[in-house]
Amino acid sequence: MRPGLTLFEGQNGHGKSNLLEAAYMLAIAKSPRSSNERELVNWSLAETGGHIQVLGVGRSADSTVQAQIDFDITATERSKNATHAFRKGLRVNGIKRSAIDFVGNLNIVFFEAEDLEIIYGSPGRRRRYLDILISQSNNVYLKSLQRYRQVVNQRNQLLRQIRDGLSQENELAFWNERLAYEGALITDSRRRSVDGLNEHAVPAHQDLTNGDKLELEYQPRITASSKDTVNISSMNAEMIEKEITNALPTLQRREIAQGITVIGPHRDDLEIRLNGNRADNFASRGQCRTIALALKIAEAVFVTQSTGRTPVLALDDILSELDIERRKLVLEAATKHEQVLLTATERAILPDNFLEKADIYTVMNGRVTQDSIANANP
């Protein structure tokens, strides 16, 4: 698809949304909606076996990148119940890659209705948003995040063993050191990323509203008490590591009793405020939709500045709950980007001046057809 605005129009099923989901998988190596990728396989394929491939090609002025995800399904019969073996492979330019080396070769910023959970949802949903944002532009961060998760899992197992009398407390020393070191790298990266989001999301939000004030505040868990305040904006990774190290002895008895690690970036949060109030408590659904879109626009700018590559902006049904004036503001902001993929239930939802510039595809019963210019611009 050539750069510019591309509209996928369709009224039945989730076909048009699935196109954007598939594109986003090529950026983050997994489905944005399902944690169990076996759920992506339709019943007929699960019963008979087969192959699924998601493939995309990204071109810039001086390079071309081909990313592909392959799913191989082998069906078997066990106790009259159909089961299937499921294998997944990742390739970049035809070469097998691990997930860590796959992420970030194609950059796509994806907005969907579920992104309202960035505002309304749990801290874990906001942490995931930050992790995906940073990982698309920083391969080192993704590796550190993977190591940190392993440290937390191992440390939690040890805490439970100590509680049950199967291990000694002095065995925590090594894992405490690793927790503080890896946790500090992640916390520092998130802090700097939230600073970048503030720089771009705040003005983007003002452009989409009548001057409502958006504020983003990163809230790391690096002290012994969640009530302790620390000015993380003036801290580097070494200072954060020291803060975590100093807090761990105070928390040790509590952690052993609970069998879990209670400090570190897996406990962080991102507070989002609108006009001085927490958005999850006071903002309307429409206001939260606008906040989420502003975050995505800021994410696109962040990725561009971090990688030197302009990401594709994939927007799934963003216009349906907006009034006419807000639709125009959203489209004007979105189409400042080089390539935008947009879904809608009907093309009439777009103003004529945007339709005239768009490539339009109709998605119907699993088939995608490009409209002629005459049909696309009635």
pLDDT band at 378 (very low <50, low <70, confident <90, very high): very low
What pLDDT is recorded for position 231? Answer: 81
Strand partners, 65: 58
Identify which of 11-25, 114-128, 199-213, 295-309 has the greatest average pLDDT.
114-128
Half-sphere exposure of 358 (CA within 13 A, CB side): 30
Flag whether pLDDT at 377 surpasses 50. no
Contacts of 373 (CB under 8 A, 6+ apart): none
Q: What is the token pair recorded at 30?
A: 């997994």
Cα gap 317→167, rounded to integer Å: 53
What's the rounded mean pLDDT across residues 172-196? 96
Flag whether pLDDT at 8 surpasses 80. yes
Q: What is the token pair recorded at 255?
A: 């952690």
What pLDDT is recorded for position 30? Answer: 85
pLDDT band at 222 (very low <50, low <70, confident <90, very high): very high
> pLDDT > 70: what percent of the chain?
89
Decide: helix, strand or coil at residue 312. strand
Output the pTM of the full model.
0.86
Identify which of 38-42, 45-49, 242-246 has the greatest average pLDDT.
242-246
What pLDDT is recorded for position 278? Answer: 96
Phi first, then psi, for residue 219 (nearest 5°) are -120, 90
What's the rounded mean pLDDT across residues 147-160? 98
What pLDDT is recorded for position 84? Answer: 59
Q: Is 167 left (phi over 0), alpha (psi -120 to 50) or beta?
A: beta
What pLDDT is recorded for position 68? Answer: 95
Of 80-89, 112-121, 295-304, minimum mean pLDDT range: 80-89
- Whole-angstrom CA distances from 250 to 25, 35, 158, 211 are 42, 35, 17, 45
Burial status of residue 80 (CB atoms within 10 A of its CB: 0-12, 13-18, 19 or more): exposed
What pLDDT is recorded for position 83? Answer: 54
Domains of the chain: 108-309 (1.20.1050.90)
What pLDDT is recorded for position 329? Answer: 87
Q: What is the dihedral angle through the alpha carbons of 172, 177, 183, 188, rounded to the nearest 10 degrees?
A: 160
What pLDDT is recorded for position 79? Answer: 40
What pLDDT is recorded for position 268? Answer: 95
Tell me the average pLDDT of the chain: 87
Of 6-20, 82-96, 97-111, minimum mean pLDDT range: 6-20
Of 31-35, 59-63, 312-316, minimum mean pLDDT range: 31-35
Phi first, then psi, for residue 65 (nearest 5°) are -125, 130
What pLDDT is recorded for position 127? Answer: 96
Flag whether pLDDT at 73 surpasses 90. no
Phi first, then psi, for residue 329 (nearest 5°) are -65, -40
What pLDDT is recorded for position 375? Answer: 46
What pLDDT is recorded for position 41? Answer: 63
3-state helix, strand, coil in the chain (%, to 5): 50, 20, 25
Give, as one character, the DSSP assignment of residue 362. Answer: E
Summarised one tens digit per residue, pLDDT across range 234-293 is 899 999 999 999 999 999 999 999 999 999 999 999 999 999 999 999 998 888 989 999
Summarised one tens digit per residue, pLDDT across range 223-234 is 998 777 778 888
Flag whether pLDDT at 80 surpasses 50. no
Decide: 25 and 69 in contact? Cβ < 8 Å: yes
What's the rounded mean pLDDT across residues 346-371? 87
As a residue count, the chain comes to: 378
